[in-house]
């Protein structure tokens, strides 16, 4: 029987779509909860503010070793798994609709997405104060929703400011080319299972295919077709690794009626067959 990647929400642990906790040390209960969840997606944002300690997390086949002081973000829908978790800091889980649009844009529309950012001690102290206030008012029996919302806005805005200003990101003027590239990448995330060609996206955006590829390459260094294939391949890897679907079923799931074509595409992009990828990575994961 095929096994799907589970998606968790906050309904069973939070009535208001918000969880904030101070993690002082990793308990046996926390480790057990992490183990039971295993590989999964969340329908909400996860923000980890490490003041000290270390965590090892795998997100979409990339291993991250997070050491405080630092901020780590996992966006809705990303497949992840916590390997080691021994930290002191703040954990925030929050439904997307509670996060201000301008904050979501930093994480969802970034041309160069980044999950992990180291922070200075001075900023960490201010962030800790804000987290303490949010935690205090959220846990009051008769909490003031306006205060909680304002503090949540302030805290998530502080987090977003670090990601948007990180020196790892190239500073690009807010040009028409940048706006089009962001629009294109957002559309690809939404429609990659049904739309496979740059011309299809160009039509949706009311621009020519050649112009789309030109602006996307100018901004990202790669043409439009590259980003479409990247989205397809990462989802294929997720399904190969985390489910028991056959390669043919995965091809169908990703919108390919021609199973052989999908297999050739995967092999070309990854330099190995889909079955070899599954066998190699599952073997490494269980070692």
pLDDT digits (tens, 9 = 90+) for 49-65: 999 988 888 887 778 88
Task: Answer whether 224's CB lies under 8 Å from 183's CB.
Answer: no
166 in Cβ contact with 71 (< 8 Å): no
Q: What integer is the mean pLDDT of 35-53? A: 84
CA nearest neighbour of 90 among 161, 23, 19, 163: 23
How far is residue 234's CA from residue 41's CA, in Å, rounded to a whole number?
Answer: 14
Please give the Cα distance from 274 to 173 (Å, whole number).
40
State residue 111's pLDDT score: 62
pTM of this prediction? 0.66
Minimum mean pLDDT among 47-51, 106-110, 126-130, 218-222: which range? Answer: 106-110
Confidence at residue 172, expressed as pLDDT on a 0 to 100 scale: 45
Mean pLDDT of the chain: 83
Peptide bond into 69 cis (omega under 30): yes
* Averaged pLDDT for residues 67-86: 83
Could you tell me whether strands 18-23 and 70-74 are parallel, antiparallel, or unpaired per DSSP bridges? Answer: unpaired
* The token pair that represents 142 in the structure block: 């008769």
**Whole-number Å distance between alpha carbons of 263 and 248:** 9
pLDDT of residue 3: 58
- Which long-range contacts does 27-30 make (Cβ < 8 Å, 24+ apart)? 30/85
- β-bridge pairing 18-23 and 80-94: antiparallel
The residues with which 62 forms a beta bridge, in sequence order, are 59
Q: Are 42 and 17 in contact (CB under 8 A)?
A: no
DSSP 40: B
- The reported pLDDT for the residue numbered 284 is 52
Query: Sorting pLDDT into bands at 50, 70 and 90, what band is 90?
Result: very high
Identify the pLDDT of residue 168. 42
**pLDDT above 50 for 86:** yes
Highest mean pLDDT among 97-106, 141-150, 209-218: 209-218
- Angle (CA) 23-74-100 rounded to 5° is 95
Counting Cβ atoms within 10 Å, is residue 34 exposed (0-12), middle (13-18) or buried (19+)? middle
Give dist(CA 68, CA 87) in Å, integer.
Answer: 8
Split at pLDDT 50, 70, 90, the class of 83 is confident
| Domains delineated in the chain | 7-165 (2.60.120.280), 176-286 (1.10.10.60)
Torsions phi, psi of 213, nearest 5? -65, -35
Q: How far apart are CA 179 and CA 79, in angstroms?
A: 27
% residues pLDDT > 90 (the chain): 37
Q: Is the dihedral of CA 220, 119, 67, 131 positive or negative?
A: negative
């Amino acid at each position: 029987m095929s096994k799907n990647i589970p998606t968790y929400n906050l309904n069973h642990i939070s009535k208001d779509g918000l969880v904030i906790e101070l993690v002082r040390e990793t308990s046996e209960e926390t480790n057990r909860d992490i183990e039971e969840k295993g590989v999964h997606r969340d329908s909400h944002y996860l923000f980890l503010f490490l003041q000290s300690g270390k965590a090892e997390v795998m997100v979409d086949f990339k291993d991250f070793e997070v050491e405080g002081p630092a901020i780590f973000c996992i966006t809705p829908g990303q497949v992840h798994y916590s390997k080691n978790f021994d930290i002191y800091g703040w954990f925030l889980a929050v439904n997307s609709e509670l996060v201000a649009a301008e904050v979501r844009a930093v994480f969802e529309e970034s041309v160069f997405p980044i999950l992990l950012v180291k922070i200075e001690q001075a900023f960490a102290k201010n962030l800790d104060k804000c987290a303490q206030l949010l935690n205090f008012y959220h846990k009051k029996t008769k909490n003031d929703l306006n205060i909680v919302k304002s503090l949540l806005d302030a805290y998530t805005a502080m987090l977003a400011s670090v990601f948007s200003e990180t020196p790892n990101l190239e500073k690009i003027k807010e040009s028409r080319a940048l706006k089009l590239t962001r629009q294109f990448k957002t559309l690809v995330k939404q429609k990659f299972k049904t739309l496979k060609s740059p011309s299809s996206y160009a039509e949706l955006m009311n621009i020519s295919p050649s112009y789309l590829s030109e602006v996307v390459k100018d901004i990202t260094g790669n043409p439009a077709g590259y980003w479409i294939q990247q989205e397809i391949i990462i989802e294929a890897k997720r399904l190969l690794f985390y489910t028991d679907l056959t390669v043919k079923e995965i091809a169908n799931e990703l919108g390919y009626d021609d199973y052989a074509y999908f297999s050739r595409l995967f092999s070309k992009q990854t330099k190995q067959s889909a079955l070899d990828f599954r066998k190699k990575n599952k073997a490494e994961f269980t070692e």
